[in-house]
Amino acid sequence: MPQDRMPTIRDIAERAGVATSTVSRALANPQRVNARTREKIERIAAQLNYVPSTQARGLSSGRTGAIAVLVPDVTNPFYFDIIRGTQNQLKAAGYTQLLVDTEEATDVELEALRRLRRTADGIILAASRLTDQQLADAAARQPLVTINRATADAPTVLIDTPGAMVQALEHLDSLGHRKVTYVGGPTSSWSTHRRWNALQEAASRRGMEISKIGPYTPKTSSGAAAADSALRTGATAFIAFNDLIAIGMLQRFRERGVRVPEDVSIVGCDDIFGADFCNPPLTTIASPIEQAGRTAVSMLLAQLDPLRGGTPRKLAVMPTHLEIRSSTGPAPGH
Amino acid sequence: MPQDRMPTIRDIAERAGVATSTVSRALANPQRVNARTREKIERIAAQLNYVPSTQARGLSSGRTGAIAVLVPDVTNPFYFDIIRGTQNQLKAAGYTQLLVDTEEATDVELEALRRLRRTADGIILAASRLTDQQLADAAARQPLVTINRATADAPTVLIDTPGAMVQALEHLDSLGHRKVTYVGGPTSSWSTHRRWNALQEAASRRGMEISKIGPYTPKTSSGAAAADSALRTGATAFIAFNDLIAIGMLQRFRERGVRVPEDVSIVGCDDIFGADFCNPPLTTIASPIEQAGRTAVSMLLAQLDPLRGGTPRKLAVMPTHLEIRSSTGPAPGH
DNA sequence: CAAACTTTGGCAATCGCTTGCCAGCATGTT
DNA sequence: AACATGCTGGCAAGCGATTGCCAAAGTTTG
């Protein structure tokens, strides 16, 4: 692999008969240099197939040109969409995306944050497992935007799932379900508490009976246990923390011969890839996940150079809606 | 955001009363320095919450500590498993993962490769759309490993899908299908040609009739057109380039009232997330995708420091098998 | 035509860390 | 006792870009 020394601005400078500083300016600051000189330099650069060293540039400028995206689990389709959103927007802005999987673990998250302090210009933190204090510390050290984890210390993108939870409850109510169970996500997840609170309140307002089981890991494989446990609550409808769990439950119900939606109804959350083609297709809370990723990037970039970005928003709330498919139906005996 | 100047080895050196070179060595090359000095330095470093600058380190050492992973489409679940695999292994080896979406476009891929020459220590190129010549050039410039794209110029990880394609054909044959259609992927995809060739050969050996339609974009949304077109071939069984297309076809058949597997059988490829819970569950060619990602990383790292890695392998072939579920059944009238 | 600007390009310091080379000292070897 | 070795740690030269400051040349202006 004979990768001969890469050309530097110095090589260009020599061939062009100018100083390196002129080359640097010609490339980064075109109007600072005479058009003829610039063209000459550009020509030589192209000819040498010159690529500036991000490293060296970063050293003097203090920026790395990279933004890190931290997600709890890269394989969770929910985060795919986030990543797709950030990827798009970052590329458009000329940034590189560093993808980090924090394995749903606080310490991994903290360690990543620490290392990245020098490696990335900013961080997008999806569904952080950190405490308020830890988040505040992190935000004080580096530009940060959180997704689905509100904090006073950093701009946040929230997907308004709780809002649609209420819709889901109404939907179930109108189908005659009086007793509903919420299938909770990981205890460390801020979202699951938020959703449960919204549900509780809405249920009591409508005089519906609601209970909670869990916590469950947000994977389809948790669905079996969740399904069994859910059945024991005696509820006729279940609202799952997310689609992964809901899909897992669907599979388990099928195994056990419990018919959906004839015997029980089930509502998922997120409308991830697969929610529309599982069996039966899942009624779920659809969220503009990808857009959340894009918005997070915008908010972060605005924070990075406040000059251009206008007033940086501190909070963006993404609208959601209930996507009714076939996993919900009339309560038995209705 | 008052991120006060970050501590450097110089700060540590001052407090420890040693030279910066000693600090550098204490941190990077522990046995090169007296134990007492080292401990002192380590203590101060911890106390200052020191994080070395990857940039500066890279400048002098010439390595960036980052590996780029290029995939044609981040939202394709197939690549997500690859990404999960690389992510795991890279983290274990202390590398950072740069994720780049090449948008199934040759020029985006080339440009990314160019930029990354200075930014990453090595590249993992999944399902590259490059020509042999372009690949050879890239491989000559930087350490490179390809996945599902064989080339003589770089180590390669291949998923032996063609092997299992033959199994799939046997399976269909034994169910009485005599006429099969292959639903092809993008023309620029090396894999689709490879699969089609394997199928053609196996079909002629077994005296089965095989035809091809396509190309189709590997998304579920292509499935509708694929399904309609597939039906017109008069075949009773279809083998799709990948699960995404297969799942899209499943949906379309359902819409059109074509029963699977009673009327037609369909085989997917990759066994991605969702293949087991779609309706009906998809018979597909299961591949150890995540392991392919891990293997690619190992091969790349072996290439990066040949000292440790032993003989770097030039080719790894991942075994596959046919996962029979419910989308295949006896041919009509059998 | 001189004073006052502008434009253009070079010099050199700097960013934070690594590393080759050397010197001082403690040990070990004849 | 003289000399070869081995440990440690400091000096200083990079790595490849950016940028403040300055000077020479070119333009405007009064």
Contact across the interface for A52 and B6, Cβ inside 8 Å: no
Question: What is the rounded average pLDDT of the residues A310-326?
Answer: 89
Q: How far is CA B117 from CA A53, A231, B110, in A?
A: 9, 56, 11
Contact across the interface for A53 and B59, Cβ inside 8 Å: yes
Question: Which of A276-280, A311-315, B271-275, B285-289 is the least confident region?
Answer: A311-315
Comparing CA positions, the residue from A162, A167, A212 lying closest to residue A187 is A212
pLDDT, mean over chain A? 93
Contact across the interface for A117 and B6, Cβ inside 8 Å: yes
A22 touches strand C (CB under 7 A): yes
**For position B49, what pLDDT does the model report?**
93
Q: For strand A156-159 and strand B179-183, is the pairing parallel, antiparallel, or unpaired?
A: unpaired
Using a 10 angstrom Cβ sphere, with 0-12 exposed, 13-18 middle and 19 or more buried, the burial of residue A276 is: middle
Indicate whether A207 pLDDT > 90. yes
Please, which pLDDT band fits residue A63 given cuts at 50, 70 and 90? confident
Please, which pLDDT band fits residue B2 given cuts at 50, 70 and 90? very low
**For position B60, what pLDDT does the model report?**
87
Which pLDDT tens digit goes with each residue over B49-106?
A: 999 999 999 998 888 999 999 999 988 999 999 999 999 999 999 899 999 999 999 9
Indicate whether A309 pLDDT > 60. no
* Alpha carbon of B108: minimum distance to chain A alpha carbons (Å): 11
Please, which pLDDT band fits residue B107 given cuts at 50, 70 and 90? very high
Which two three-digit tokens encode residue A275?
Answer: 């929610």
Considering CB atoms only, which of A55, A75, A97 is closest to B64? A55
**For position A4, what pLDDT does the model report?**
65
Percent above pLDDT 90 for chain B: 88
Comparing CA positions, the residue from A265, A258, A263, A267 lying closest to residue A321 is A267
Q: How many beta-carbon pairs under 8 angstroms link A with B?
A: 139
Using a 10 angstrom Cβ sphere, with 0-12 exposed, 13-18 middle and 19 or more buried, the burial of residue A266 is: buried
Comparing CA positions, the residue from B28, B78, B47, B65 lying closest to residue A98 is B65
- CA of A58, C1' of D10: distance in angstroms: 28
Report angle CA B76, B81, B86 to the nearest 5 degrees: 120
Indicate whether B144 pLDDT > 90. yes
Measure the CA–CA gap between B257 and B252, rounded to whole angstroms.
Answer: 9
Q: What is the DSSP letter of A225?
A: H
B8 touches strand D (CB under 7 A): no
**For position A252, what pLDDT does the model report?**
98
Which pLDDT tens digit goes with each residue over A92-121?
A: 998 999 999 999 999 999 999 999 999 999
DSSP per-residue codes, B177-239: --EEEEE---TT-HHHHHHHHHHHHHHHHHT-EEEEE----SSGGGHHHHHHHHHHTT-SEEE
Indicate whether B307 pLDDT > 80. no
**For position B310, what pLDDT does the model report?**
58
Whether A259 and A227 have beta carbons less than 8 Å apart is answered as: no
Q: Which amino acid is at B76?
A: N
Please, which pLDDT band fits residue B153 given cuts at 50, 70 and 90? very high
Question: What is the rounded average pLDDT of the residues B190-217?
Answer: 96
Cβ–Cβ contact A107 with B under 8 A: no
Indicate whether A22 pLDDT > 60. yes
Indicate whether B116 pLDDT > 70. yes
Backbone angles phi, psi at A90, to 5 degrees: -65, -45
- As ranges, strand C nucleotides with an atom below 7 A of a protein CB are 7-12, 14-20
* Alpha carbon of B101: minimum distance to chain A alpha carbons (Å): 7
DSSP H helical segments within chain B, as ranges? 9-16, 20-28, 35-48, 54-61, 77-92, 106-119, 132-141, 161-174, 190-206, 223-232, 243-256, 289-304
Question: Which of A8-17, A53-62, A126-135, B195-204 is the least confident region?
Answer: A53-62
- CA of B106, C1' of D19: distance in angstroms: 37
Domains of chain B, with CATH numbers?
A: 1-50 (1.10.260.40), 161-286 (3.40.50.2300)
Measure the CA–CA gap between B165 and A309, rounded to whole angstroms.
Answer: 53
Cβ–Cβ contact B77 with A under 8 A: yes
Measure the CA–CA gap between B297 and A35, rounded to whole angstroms.
Answer: 46
Indicate whether A307 pLDDT > 50. yes
Cβ–Cβ contact B314 with A under 8 A: no
**For position B5, what pLDDT does the model report?**
77
Q: Which residue is nearest to nucleotide D10 (CA to C1')?
A: B19
Considering CB atoms only, which of B1, B53, B247 is closest to A118? B53
Considering CB atoms only, which of A80, A100, A118 is closest to B52? A118
Contact across the interface for B140 and A251, Cβ inside 8 Å: no
Please, which pLDDT band fits residue B1 given cuts at 50, 70 and 90? very low
A193 touches strand C (CB under 7 A): no
Residues of chain A (59-88) having a beta carbon less than 7 angstroms from strand C: 59-60
Backbone angles phi, psi at A319, to 5 degrees: -70, 150
Cβ–Cβ contact B243 with A under 8 A: no
**For position A1, what pLDDT does the model report?**
41
**For position A305, what pLDDT does the model report?**
76
Which pLDDT tens digit goes with each residue over B10-48?
A: 999 999 999 999 999 999 988 889 999 999 999 999 999
Indicate whether B145 pLDDT > 60. yes
Which pLDDT tens digit goes with each residue over A246-274?
A: 999 999 999 999 999 999 999 999 999 99
Which pLDDT tens digit goes with each residue over B46-65?
A: 999 999 999 999 998 888 99
Indicate whether A3 pLDDT > 60. no
